Amino acid sequence: MTELGNRLKQEREAKKMSLEDLQTTTKIQKRYLIGVEEGNYSIMPGQFYARAFIKQYAEAVGLDPEEIFEEYKNDIPVNEKEDIPQLSRVKTRKQVPAKSTKSWKFLPILFTILAIVAICAIVYTVVISLSGGDGNEANQAAQDTQPAEIDSPNQAAQPEEEEKAPAEEEKAPEEEKPAEEEAPAAGTLKELEKSGSNATLELSGTDKFVVELSSPGETWIEIDNDKGKNFHYGLVKKGEEVKQIDLSQEAEVSFKVGRTFETDLKINGEPFKFPFPTNEKTTQTFTIKFVKNGEQ
């Protein structure tokens, strides 16, 4: 048993807590609590879990985890945690669907058609007027050459000129207004950068940032913002109620997930695809930058 394990066990016994009581309080399996007391960290899923279990054990028995970590740092396994790069916030313009130019392209064609129709109507009217005038003059000349007293029954009847109205202008087809595309309520999540085992993503096109946590088995999840505020730190187990965390007021949130292959993570109701392959031995760390609608 290590000095750290002996110290934790003494505090537990001083508070008259059994391992079963401690298991109920911390939600940590009894065999892992025994491993903490005996300094047997090899039975745990990884160094990250060992540090997490020590922290919860200390809090449950009334000890300050930071003081414990500092005083017994030689007994505590080193967490191979890489610092997540703090990138300056990427400002992006809200992408608005471009208006269709189909109607503007059609206008020159429409004006050309209307001009042709107008010219045809003018030409037609002029031709009818000229032909009608010549006919009337010829008929008048024929009548003047005949004697006034002779009323010939065979006198040819003057043809009646029918005026034809100019063709009506063709109506231009109504322009179809393109339907505006609506951004998905869940928003758009895109990858900005990968560095080693860390990744940086951006969530945009929405006003909300809601995370749902659940597991078909057992996993460990830690969620913090860029100011160090913690929103979740601990286990998520099968059968527990789905945890919902509203991060809509945060600009940047960091995630650390211990067992990604047993982690169901959703953002705004949509399943989240981890930036790296999920397997039993990989702990993934990533940062999501949130850009609300209307922000640049």
Confidence at residue 26, expressed as pLDDT on a 0 to 100 scale: 93
What global pTM score does this model have? 0.41
* Both tokens assigned to 57: 């054990």
Confidence at residue 77, expressed as pLDDT on a 0 to 100 scale: 83
Q: Average pLDDT by consecutive 10-residue portion of the chain (296 residues)?
A: 88 93 94 91 88 93 92 81 40 45 71 90 83 54 49 47 49 51 72 88 91 91 92 91 93 88 91 86 85 78
Confidence at residue 55, expressed as pLDDT on a 0 to 100 scale: 94
Model confidence over 80-125: pLDDT tens digits?
Answer: 553 333 433 434 344 444 455 556 667 888 888 999 999 989 988 8
Considering only CA atoms, which of 77, 70, 68 is closest in space to residue 4? 68
What is the bridge-based pairing of β-strands 252-257 and 270-271?
unpaired
Confidence at residue 184, expressed as pLDDT on a 0 to 100 scale: 59
Q: Alpha-carbon distance 178 to 276, whole Å? A: 39
Domains observed in the chain: 3-71 (1.10.260.40), 188-292 (no CATH)
What is the bridge-based pairing of β-strands 243-246 and 264-267?
unpaired
Confidence at residue 5, expressed as pLDDT on a 0 to 100 scale: 87
Confidence at residue 56, expressed as pLDDT on a 0 to 100 scale: 95
Confidence at residue 124, expressed as pLDDT on a 0 to 100 scale: 87
Confidence at residue 88, expressed as pLDDT on a 0 to 100 scale: 37
